[in-house]
């Protein structure tokens, strides 16, 4: 009985995962193979269009850039926080987590106020004399990326703080005693040991960015359509459920493939990382 105790305790969560996640995803993907024109006809329909290929590429590009910037900002910030005194660390963690206390839509609207033609940033640029007229910053890819980074950097920081805090101080001190300067220590000792956190953070940010809907919809509009907004359009506007299921299936496959690739890269960089 003891041998099956773990399985019995995990069975409710496993059953809920199967019912509410695996089965709906499997049904969505399976629905794409019911087209009377052929099993892969919906996928041919998607990739034969230059517009639809552009939407897919734009989504991947935004997610990749967001992930890279979030990694760069998150690593530096998390390292500073992890090496701060306890009372300073508590304040910095609260400041890092604070944006997560508001909803995605609220934070996106805040960026609309900042980046709008009559927004804070345009008014400031005109006030200091850099521009004579408002600059069109909304409904651009840059606006979506900036908002995405703001949304997901706190998540990256939280993931990396725990990893960096667990790096033994003796290892860092040993590197310094062997003549490594702070930059070399950070690049050659700390970053390799932080590989698990980097991979987990990158996967979380990439998947969240790739499947995001609210932020690209509000800040990108129709000019910067991504897979999430395209899926909503096909399902709720055109009522094309086969097309919507095809878009969802492509998003699932790319997300899983990205996770597998990042995991493989982590194993090559550090066999003990995963």
Within a domain: residue 189? Answer: yes
Tally the domains of the chain: 2
**How does residue 273 score in pLDDT terms, banded at 50, 70 and 90?**
very low
Same domain, 124 and 250: yes
pLDDT surpasses 80 at 179: no
Confidence of residue 5 (pLDDT cuts 50, 70, 90): low
Q: What is the mean pLDDT of residues 67-82?
A: 90
pLDDT, tens digit, 9 for 90 and up, residues 203-245? 999 999 999 998 999 998 778 899 999 999 998 888 888 889 9
Q: Tell me: do 122 and 142 sit in the same domain.
A: yes
**Residues 1 and 70 both lie in one domain:** no
Q: Which of 207, 242, 263, 216 is nearest to 108 (CA)?
A: 216
* pLDDT score for 207: 92
Range name among 115-129, 158-172, 203-217, 248-262 with the lowest pLDDT average: 158-172
Same domain, 77 and 19: no
State whether 123 and 196 are in the same domain.
yes
CATH number for the domain that contains residue 227? 1.10.3720.10
Range of the domain at 6: 1-34
User: Token pair of 213, please?
Assistant: 């809907």
Percent of the chain with pLDDT over 90: 28
Average pLDDT, the chain: 85
Task: Judge contact between 167 and 79, C-beta under 8 A.
Answer: no
Same domain, yes or no: 4 and 92: no
In this prediction, residue 274 carries a pLDDT of 45
Q: Is pLDDT above 70 for 3?
A: no
Residue among 90, 87, 147 nearest 115 (CA): 147
């Amino acid at each position: 009985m003891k041998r099956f105790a773990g399985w019995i305790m995990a069975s409710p969560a496993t059953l809920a995962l199967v019912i509410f996640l695996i089965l709906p995803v499997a049904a969505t993907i399976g629905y794409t193979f019911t087209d009377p024109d052929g099993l892969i006809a919906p996928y041919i329909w998607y990739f034969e269009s230059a517009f639809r290929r552009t939407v897919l590429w734009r989504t991947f590009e935004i997610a990749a850039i967001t992930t890279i910037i979030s990694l760069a900002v998150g690593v530096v910030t998390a390292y500073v926080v992890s090496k701060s005194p306890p009372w300073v660390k508590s304040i910095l963690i609260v400041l890092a987590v604070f944006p997560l206390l508001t909803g995605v839509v609220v934070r996106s609207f805040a960026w609309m106020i900042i980046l709008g033609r009559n927004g804070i940033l345009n008014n400031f640029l005109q006030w200091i004399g850099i521009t004579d007229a408002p600059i069109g910053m909304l409904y651009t890819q840059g606006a979506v990326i900036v908002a995405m980074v703001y949304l997901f950097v706190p998540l990256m920081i939280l993931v990396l703080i725990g990893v960096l805090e667990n790096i033994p101080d003796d290892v860092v001190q040993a590197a310094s005693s062997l003549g490594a300067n702070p930059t070399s220590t950070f690049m050659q000792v700390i970053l390799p040991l932080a590989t698990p956190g980097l991979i987990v953070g990158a996967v979380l940010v990439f998947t969240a960015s790739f499947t995001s809907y609210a932020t690209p919809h509000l800040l990108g509009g129709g000019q910067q359509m991504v897979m999430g907004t395209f899926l909503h359009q096909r399902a709720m506007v055109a009522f094309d459920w086969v097309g919507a299921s095809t878009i969802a299936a492509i998003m699932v496959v790319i997300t899983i493939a990205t996770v597998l690739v990042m995991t493989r890269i982590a194993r090559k960089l550090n066999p003990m990382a995963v």
